[in-house]
Amino acid sequence: MIDMGAASEQESIARTFVAARATGAALAAYPGKMPETLAEAYRIQDVAIARDGRRVGGWKVGRIAPELTQAYGDNRIAGPIFIDEIAEDDATMPVFAGGFAAAEAEVLLRFGDVGDGDHDIETVRDCIEEVRTGIEIASSPFAEINGHGPAVTASDYGNNKGLVLGPPIANWRERDLIAMPVEFRIDGVLVGAASMAAMLDGPFGSALFLIRILRARGIAIAPGTCVSAGAITGVHDIRPGQRAEALFDGQIRVGCTIAAA
């Protein structure tokens, strides 16, 4: 039986977030009863995607803190990335000036044909056509989006506001991506350095997770869909006027300038 009260609440939350994102307005408080489960969060997200009307060109995947995975029943969350917010290297990327804003160095996977079969950490590689460097722009009208647990984060598009596509990683099938060093700078200052070894089971684990969660939600993965596989060096606060730059393997650069939405 459908809980009409809960459905109405989810509709109201989704409507408020979509309107705030369309106008660039900040939200001083969460616009309703905060979701307590990922199932509730994805219902809000699904309503918002439908109301938004833009085409989804990719998905961001974010990690759930280890101490929260048991309570939420998963170790990652997902959120849509709209096609009009996917930009090339050196783009200007908007954020919500009165809300939450951050930038993250990420590896981007581009799906080919996923098919209907089951995959594991090895066979999922056959579904990937390209691996690129990139930067995820994490931003929400609600400044405390990451302060109330992963369900709240997931409910507003997973806290995504865009994706910067950097150069591809050549010969990625033969390379040890997990060991690749990554650095992140804001206005030229080093703010994070790490490798993908810190990313649970790495970017291909993120691809596996996304296939599973989208199938459960009845969402098809079209060929060409991007996956922003998760923060490598951390989630780095950023503000309009600043420049973000990621350096992969000491030689592959991708950057963007931040502006107010």
pLDDT for 4? 55
- For range 139-155, the mean pLDDT: 97
**Contact (CB, 8 A) for 211 and 148:** no
Give the confidence band of 1 by pLDDT, cuts at 50, 70, 90: very low
Confidence of residue 261 (pLDDT cuts 50, 70, 90): confident
Q: Is 253 helix (H, G, I), strand (E, B) or coil?
A: strand
- What's the CA gap between 60 and 172, in Å, rounded? 20
Q: What is the DSSP letter of 250?
A: T
- Within 10 angstroms of residue 74's Cβ, the number of other Cβ atoms is 16
Q: Residue 196 and residue 53: Cα distance in Å, rounded? A: 34
Distance CA 17, CA 140 (A): 9
Domain count, the chain: 1
Q: Which residues lie below 8 Å from residue 109, measured CB to CB, with a gap of 6+?
A: 128, 130, 131, 203, 204, 206, 207, 226, 227, 229
**Cα dihedral across residues 149, 155, 158, 159: positive or negative:** negative
pLDDT band at 240 (very low <50, low <70, confident <90, very high): very high
Has residue 2 got a pLDDT over 50? no
The proportion of the chain whose per-residue pLDDT surpasses 70, expressed as a percent, equals 98
What does the block give as tokens for 184?
A: 């992140």
Average pLDDT over residues 19-24: 95
pLDDT over threshold 70, residue 5: no
93-129 per-position pLDDT tens digit: 999 999 999 999 999 999 999 988 899 999 999 999 9
What residues contact 139, with CB distance under 8 A and at least 6 apart?
94, 95, 96, 99, 100, 101, 102, 159, 160, 161, 162, 261
pLDDT score, position 176: 92
Q: How confident is the model at residue 200 (pLDDT cuts 50, 70, 90)?
A: confident
Residue owning tokens 């109330």: 148
- What is the domain extent for residue 45? 4-260
Over range 127-135, report the average pLDDT.
97
The mean pLDDT value of the chain amounts to 95
> In whole angstroms, what separates CA 9 from the centre of its chain?
24
Mean pLDDT to the nearest integer, 132-141 = 98
Share of the chain above pLDDT 90, in %: 93
Cut 0.85: pTM above it: yes
Residue 112 sits in a domain whose CATH number is 3.90.850.10
Query: Per the structure block, which two tokens stand in for 142?
Result: 């609600």
pLDDT at residue 7 in the model: 79
**43 phi and psi, to 5 degrees?**
-65, -40
d(CA 227, CA 57): 9
